[in-house]
A and B are shown apart, each in its own frame.
Chain A
Amino acid sequence: MIVSTNWLSEYVRVTAPVEQVVERLALSGLNHESTSTVGDDTAIEIEVTSNRPDCLGHIGVARELSVLFQRPLLIPNARPLEAGGQAGESVAVEIADRGMCPFYSARVIRGVRVGKSPSWLVSRLATVGIASVNNIVDITNYVMLECGQPLHAFDLSRVRGQAIVVRPAEAGEAFEAINHRTYELDPRMCVIADAERPIALAGVMGGADSEISDATVDVLIESGQFAPLAVRTAARSLVLASGSSFRFERSPDPAAVDWASRRAAMLILDLAGGTLEHGVATAGELATHPATVALAVDRVSEVLGVEIPWEQQQATLTALGFTEQTEGADDEISLWHVPSWRRDVTREIDLVEEVGRIVGYDLIPEDATISARPVADTRRQDVTRLASDVLIAAGCCEAMTRSVVDEVLDLFGSPWSDKPSLTISPPLVRGADRLRRTLLPSLLEARGHNLAVAAPHGDLFEIARGYLPGAELPVEPHFLSAVVGGEFEVGKGLVEAVLQRLGINASGLTGPPPRASYRPANHPLLATGRTADVMLSIAGRAATRVGVIGEIESALIAHFNLVGPVVAFELRIDTLDTVEDTDRAVVRPSDFPPVERDLNLIVDEDVSWSSLASAIDEACGGLLDRLSLTQVWRDDGRIGPGRKSVVVSLSLRSQDATLSGDEVKEVINTIIETCTRRCGAALRA
C-alpha cells in the first residue's frame, strides 16, 4: 500500500518529519518499504499485514497516525444532494448467491460530463502510482484508496434490461474485461450480470462493454460485499489481481460500503456534474460483525511482562475507535465494543496486542530470567555429528541437494523402494515434482557439476530425509549418503569407519553385538556383483538392513559425465541411532609379546573372506590379536581353476603369558583344521 503524505494531511495534521512518521508506523505494525518524492508530494510504501484491511485506505493509516501522534482525525462528510428520480426505479438489483455476495448497492447519477480530472486528483493518484483515466473512474479509485472499499462505475446505458444480477459464473462463460482481454469463467467465480450477460467480474474487474467512456451520460455506482474466496479464486486462476480484488480478499469495513458510495456520488456531482437519484437500489443484507470483547484490567501486564497504567490502556483503545461499555463491566473486567473496521479483533488477546503495539514494545524489559534446565543432545544429533566428523576427516564435503527431483533422476530407482515415488504440485523447481526415495542421484549430479567446473574433487556426502510411500504418512528415512571416487573397498572402508565411530563392531566378523555384516545384493543405481547390503545385528533383535554400498553402474557414470569408478553408500541414520553407544568394559592391553604368522590358504572361489576370517577367529580361542588380508591371487595352472589363494597375516597374543612355540603351533594347527573343515581350505606350503 502506497500512501501520499499530502493526502494523509487531509485527515490528520502531523508536523513530525517523514522519517519519524515512517518509524512510528513501522514500530506499531505498518512496516516501511520505501519513501520517494513525487512532485511536491511524498509517497510512502508500507506493508499492510493481511489482518489489517482498514489500513488499505488513507483514512485507516491516518487513524493510526492520529493515535500515535495524538492528533484529531478528520473524516470528510459524505452527504451528496439527492434530486431527480428513484434509483430503485432505474435499476433492479438481485443476488442469486448470498454466499458469494451478501450485499450489493447501486446509486444512479444521470447527466454527468465525463472528462479530465482536476490536477489535485490526478497528482494524488500519481503519487500512489495510479494513472488518471477520466474523472468518474478516477473518483472510484480515489474513494477506494481513501476508505478501503472498492467501487465500480458502470455506464448505465450499457446495463441491459435495467437489471443487475449478482450470480456465479456459468461454466465456460466468456467475459471481456476492461483490459480488452477475454476470459473463460467458471462457477467458482462471481459475476455482475445485466439481464443478458456478465458485465463485471465481481470484486475483480469491470467489463469492457459497460465501462465509462466519453460518451457516458448516466452512471451506476456499485458498492458491495463480495466473498474473499470467490474473489481470490477469480483473481488467481485468471491472473487478474487488482486493487479491488486485493481488498475484497481481506474483507473491507462493512460500514464503508454505503459511505464510499455516497462519497463517490458527492465527488462526481462536484467534479462531473449530473443529478443523483434518490436512494439506493440494494439487494441482500449488509454483513456486519458486531463484537464486544472483555479485557481483564491486569491482562495486558500478564502478557507483555510490563505494567501499563489502566488509564493509558483505556485512552489507547478509545483513540483506536473501541468504545468502553459500562454495563456488565466491573473493577476487574472491562468490556469493549469493536469498531466495524477491526474485524480482526475478536478476543481479549487481540486487545492486548492493540495496547502493546501502540504503547510500544520498547517498554518490554529484556532482562527477565528463565530457570535453568538440563538438556542432553539426542542420540540422532550425536550420530549425525559423529558420522559427519568421520567423513569430513576422510576428505568429503557436506552437500545439500533438493528433496524433490525430476523424472530422470527418479527413474534411476532406489535401493529402498520400488513403489512409484510421491509427487507434488507445483514442482519445486522446473520439472522437479518427485519426492526422492534416495539421495544418491542428486549427489551424483552434484559430483558431475564439480567435475564439470574442475573443482578440486567431488567427494560429497549429505544427511537428509528420503520419502517412501507408506500406509498413511510416508516413511521418511534419515539417510547418510555419500559418493566418492574409487572402488567398492573405498566405500566400504568409509562405512566401516562411520560404524566404528558409532560404537558398532564393523568388521563383519564375530564379536559381540551391535555388529555389522555385509551380504551381496542387487540394487538400482549400483553395479551388479559389486554391491552389498549392510546388515546390523543388535542383541535380542533380528539383523536389519541399515545401508547399501556399491559401485555406481556404468550407465549412470556416463549419464552424469563422471569418471569411474565411483562408489556410493547410503546408511539409515534413523536405524543406527537406535543403537546406544553403551559404556562397555575396556580390555586391558596385554603386556606380553605377539607372535606373527602368515598363512597361505587355498579355497574355492565362492568361499567368502568373512567365513574364512570367522573360522580363524573362532579357532584362535581368544588368542587372535590381529588378522589382516595380505593378498588374494588366482592361478589356473598352479592352484587350479575355480580356486584362489588367500594369504592372511595374523598375530597371536595372550593376556596372561608369553606364548610358547608349542602353543603357537597348536593354535596354527587348529586354525588350519577349522578352515579345512568349515571352508574346504588347504594350506599351501
Chain B
Amino acid sequence: MDLESFVLEVTRLRDEAEAAFRDVRDAASLEEARIAFAGAKSGRLKAVQKLLGGVGSTDRPQAGRAFNEVKQAISALLEAAQDRLAAATASPEAAAIDVTLPGRPLRLGRLHPITRTIREVQGIMARLGFECVDGPEVEDQWHNFEALAIPPEHPARDPLDNFYLNVARGADPLLLRSQTSTVQIRVMEATKPPLRIVSLGRVYRPDTADATHYPMFHQVEGLLVEKGTTMAHLKSVLRLFASSFLGGDVHVRFRPSFFPFTEPSVEVDMEWGGRWIEMGGAGMVDPAVLEAVGYNPDEVSGFAFGLGVERIAARRYGVADIRDFYRNDVRFLEQFG
C-alpha cells in the first residue's frame, strides 16, 4: 500500500470516529462506538494498523506517525464522550454549558459607508419614481460644460480647476467629469420627457485633500422633467427625501445661489437636530439646458438637485476626516454594520 492511500484511510477513519463519538447519547451507544473504533479484535483502528505493514519501508515512519496521531485522537474522543456522559448522569447542571462563551466566529465583511449611503439615497429616490442611470467618468467638453450652459471662457473651465486628459475629442481635450450632471445631459439627449432619473458616481475636482475636501468624491443628482413642474415640486420632493433619510418630519429651506445649469438656483438646507444643515444645491433646469438637449422649454420644465455623498456620510457617521473614507483600513470599515 502506498503512503497516500494510507493517509487517506487514516483521515477517513478520524472523520468517521469524530462523527460517531459526537453522536453518543447513552452508555449503550458509547460502548457500540468504542467497539467499532477502538475494539481490540475487530475495531477500525486495528484494521488500519494492519495496513501499516503493507506500506513500503521508506514511507513507513511517516505512516506510523499518522497512525499514532489518529490513535491518540480516538482515545481522546472516547475519553471526552465518557466524561460527557458521566457529567450528564451526575447532574443536569454539570452538563450545562457556559452560554457566555463566544460562538464559533464567522467573519463578515462590510459594505463601504459611501456605498451604504448611496444605496439608501437610491432607495428613497426609487420610491419617489426616480430611476437610476449611469454614464462615463471621462467626458467631452460638450457634456461637462457647453450643454450645462458653461461657455468656453467661463472660469469653471480653467485648466487648473479640472483634470484634463492627454487625449482630445476634436480639438478639445477630454476631462474627468466635474459633476454627474453630464449623465443627465446624456439621458435627456437620448430620451423624451417626462423623465425622472438619479445619477450618481465619482466626480473629480482639483482640491487639496484635507479633512473636508478630496479631489475625488461621489455625487448623487436627481432630475425631473415633466409638464408643469414648479419649485414647489422641487421643495416637496426634497422634503420627502429629507424626511425619509433623516427620519421624522423634516423641513427644507432654500437659499438663493448660482449654478450655470439651473435658474433659479438654490442651496438646500435641511433641519437636522434643531439646526439648518447645508445638504446640497438645486434649482429649476435652465431653459438653455433644456434647449441644448432638444427639449422645448415652453412645453416642459424640470428641476435638478445634487448632494455630496461624502458630506452626508461624514455627518451621519460622525467621520471627522473624509480622507478616512479612502484609507480602506479594515478597522474603520468594520465599524459600519
Given contacts A303-B264, A449-B329, A473-B136, contact A51 B258 (CB under 8 A): yes
Q: Which of A134-142, A183-191, A630-638, A669-677 faces chain B?
A: A630-638
Partner of B329, one of A347, A455, A464: A455
Given contacts A393-B109, A398-B115, contact A347 B287 (CB under 8 A): yes
Report whether B235 and A368 are in contact in the complex, using a CB–CB cutoff of 8 Å: yes
Q: Is A425 an interface residue (CB 8 A)?
A: yes
State which residues 367-398 of A face B: CB under 8 Å: 367-375, 377-378, 380-381, 385, 388, 391-398
Closest to B218 in A: A400
Q: Is A229 an interface residue (CB 8 A)?
A: yes
Q: Is B160 an interface residue (CB 8 A)?
A: yes
B295–chain A nearest beta-carbon distance, Å? 14
Which residues from B are CB-within-8-Å of A428?
A: 163, 204, 215-216
Report whether B132 and A367 are in contact in the complex, using a CB–CB cutoff of 8 Å: no
Q: Is A78 an interface residue (CB 8 A)?
A: no
State which residues 274-318 of A face B: CB under 8 Å: 302-306
Closest to B116 in A: A398
State which residues 125-147 of B face A: CB under 8 Å: 126-132, 134, 136-140
Q: Choose among A368, A378, A401, A449 the residue with the greatest number of B CB atoms under 10 Å from its CB.
A: A368
Partner of A429, one of B137, B165, B215, B233: B215
Q: Is B192 an interface residue (CB 8 A)?
A: no
Q: Is A118 an interface residue (CB 8 A)?
A: no
Report whether B258 and A52 are in contact in the complex, using a CB–CB cutoff of 8 Å: yes
A399 to B326, CA, bound (A): 8
Closest to B224 in A: A370
Q: Is A524 an interface residue (CB 8 A)?
A: no
State which residues 203-226 of B face A: CB under 8 Å: 204, 206, 209, 215-216, 224, 226
Partner of B236, one of A356, A367, A446, A461: A367
Tell me whether chain B's interface is mostly helix, strand or loop, or mixed: mixed
A450 to B155, CA, bound (A): 41
A464 to B112, CA, bound (A): 12
A283 to B57, CA, bound (A): 111
Q: Choose among B138, B216, B286 the residue with the greatest number of A CB atoms under 10 Å from its CB.
A: B138
B153–chain A nearest beta-carbon distance, Å? 5
A17 to B129, CA, bound (A): 45
Q: Is A424 an interface residue (CB 8 A)?
A: yes
Report whether A638 and B2 are in contact in the complex, using a CB–CB cutoff of 8 Å: yes
Report whether A49 and B169 are in contact in the complex, using a CB–CB cutoff of 8 Å: no
Q: Is B97 an interface residue (CB 8 A)?
A: no
B321–chain A nearest beta-carbon distance, Å? 15
Closest to A229 in B: B153
Q: Is A558 an interface residue (CB 8 A)?
A: no
Report whether A365 and B235 are in contact in the complex, using a CB–CB cutoff of 8 Å: yes
Q: Choose among A236, A473, A647 the residue with the greatest number of B CB atoms under 10 Å from its CB.
A: A473
A685–chain B nearest beta-carbon distance, Å? 11
Report whether A397 and B110 are in contact in the complex, using a CB–CB cutoff of 8 Å: yes
Closest to A639 in B: B2
Q: Is A497 an interface residue (CB 8 A)?
A: no
Closest to B129 in A: A373
Q: Which of A24-32, A36-44, A105-113, A408-416 faces chain B?
A: A24-32
The number of chain B residues with a CB under 8 A from chain A is 84
Report whether A397 and B256 are in contact in the complex, using a CB–CB cutoff of 8 Å: no
Which residues from B are CB-within-8-Å of A473?
A: 136, 138-140, 169, 174
Q: Is B167 an interface residue (CB 8 A)?
A: yes
Which residues from B are CB-within-8-Å of A26?
A: 255
A630 to B11, CA, bound (A): 12
A393 to B257, CA, bound (A): 45
B165–chain A nearest beta-carbon distance, Å? 5
B174–chain A nearest beta-carbon distance, Å? 7
Which residues from B are CB-within-8-Å of A572?
A: none
| Binary interface encoding of chain A residues 448-469 relative to chain B, with 1 for a CB under 8 A from any of its CBs, else 0 | 0110010111111101110101
Report whether A365 and B232 are in contact in the complex, using a CB–CB cutoff of 8 Å: yes
Which residues from B are CB-within-8-Å of A347?
A: 263, 287
The number of chain A residues with a CB under 8 A from chain B is 95
Q: Is B120 an interface residue (CB 8 A)?
A: no
Q: Is B34 an interface residue (CB 8 A)?
A: no
Given contacts A350-B263, A428-B204, A453-B331, contact A402 B216 (CB under 8 A): yes
Report whether B287 and A303 are in contact in the complex, using a CB–CB cutoff of 8 Å: no
Report whether B153 and A228 are in contact in the complex, using a CB–CB cutoff of 8 Å: yes
Report whether B232 and A236 are in contact in the complex, using a CB–CB cutoff of 8 Å: no
Q: Is B8 an interface residue (CB 8 A)?
A: yes
Which residues from A are CB-within-8-Å of B114?
A: 400
Report whether B166 and A631 are in contact in the complex, using a CB–CB cutoff of 8 Å: no
Q: Choose among A393, A400, A449, A635 the residue with the greatest number of B CB atoms under 10 Å from its CB.
A: A400
Partner of B167, one of A393, A422, A459: A422
Partner of B230, one of A368, A423, A630, A638: A368
Which residues from B are CB-within-8-Å of A455?
A: 329-331
Report whether B256 and A29 are in contact in the complex, using a CB–CB cutoff of 8 Å: yes
State which residues 231-290 of A face B: CB under 8 Å: 232, 236, 249
Q: Is B231 an interface residue (CB 8 A)?
A: yes
Partner of B126, one of A366, A375, A464: A375
Q: Is A590 an interface residue (CB 8 A)?
A: no
B268–chain A nearest beta-carbon distance, Å? 10
Report whether B166 and A399 are in contact in the complex, using a CB–CB cutoff of 8 Å: no
Report whether A249 and B284 are in contact in the complex, using a CB–CB cutoff of 8 Å: no
A51 to B253, CA, bound (A): 22
Partner of A370, one of B129, B139, B330: B129
| Binary interface encoding of chain A residues 333-373 relative to chain B, with 1 for a CB under 8 A from any of its CBs, else 0 | 00000000000000101101100110001101111111111
Report whether B230 and A424 are in contact in the complex, using a CB–CB cutoff of 8 Å: no
State which residues 522-558 of A face B: CB under 8 Å: none
A161–chain B nearest beta-carbon distance, Å? 34
A221 to B294, CA, bound (A): 50
Given contacts A392-B111, A464-B202, A473-B169, contact A353 B330 (CB under 8 A): no
Q: Is B50 an interface residue (CB 8 A)?
A: no
Q: Is B78 an interface residue (CB 8 A)?
A: no
Report whether A631 and B254 are in contact in the complex, using a CB–CB cutoff of 8 Å: no
A394 to B253, CA, bound (A): 44
Which residues from A are CB-within-8-Å of B139?
A: 473
Report whether B251 and A366 are in contact in the complex, using a CB–CB cutoff of 8 Å: yes
Partner of A381, one of B130, B132, B226, B231: B132
Report whether A465 and B224 are in contact in the complex, using a CB–CB cutoff of 8 Å: no
Report whether B231 and A373 are in contact in the complex, using a CB–CB cutoff of 8 Å: no
A404 to B202, CA, bound (A): 12
Q: Is A403 an interface residue (CB 8 A)?
A: yes
Partner of A424, one of B132, B165, B196, B252: B165
Which residues from B are CB-within-8-Å of A635?
A: 2, 4
Q: Is B328 an interface residue (CB 8 A)?
A: yes
Report whether B109 and A391 are in contact in the complex, using a CB–CB cutoff of 8 Å: yes
Report whether B263 and A368 are in contact in the complex, using a CB–CB cutoff of 8 Å: no
Q: Is B266 an interface residue (CB 8 A)?
A: yes
A347 to B283, CA, bound (A): 16
Report whether B231 and A361 are in contact in the complex, using a CB–CB cutoff of 8 Å: yes
B244–chain A nearest beta-carbon distance, Å? 14
Which residues from B are CB-within-8-Å of A380?
A: 134
Report whether A396 and B109 are in contact in the complex, using a CB–CB cutoff of 8 Å: yes
A447–chain B nearest beta-carbon distance, Å? 9
Given contacts A375-B131, A397-B333, contact A370 B237 (CB under 8 A): yes
Report whether A29 and B216 are in contact in the complex, using a CB–CB cutoff of 8 Å: no
What are 25 contact pairs spanning A and B, CB under 8 A?
A31-B257, A52-B258, A349-B284, A361-B235, A367-B236, A368-B232, A370-B129, A370-B237, A371-B129, A373-B129, A375-B126, A377-B132, A400-B328, A402-B216, A403-B137, A403-B216, A425-B166, A435-B165, A456-B330, A457-B330, A460-B330, A473-B136, A474-B174, A630-B8, A635-B4
Give me 7 other A-B pairs in contact (C-beta within 8 A), A397-B328, A474-B174 excluded.
Answer: A347-B263, A375-B127, A392-B109, A399-B328, A422-B167, A460-B328, A465-B137
Binding site for A on B (CB under 8 A): 2, 4, 8, 107-112, 114-115, 119, 122, 126-132, 134, 136-140, 153, 155, 158-160, 163-167, 169, 174-176, 196, 202, 204, 206, 209, 215-216, 224, 226, 228, 230-233, 235-237, 239, 251-258, 263-267, 284, 286-287, 301, 325-331, 333-334
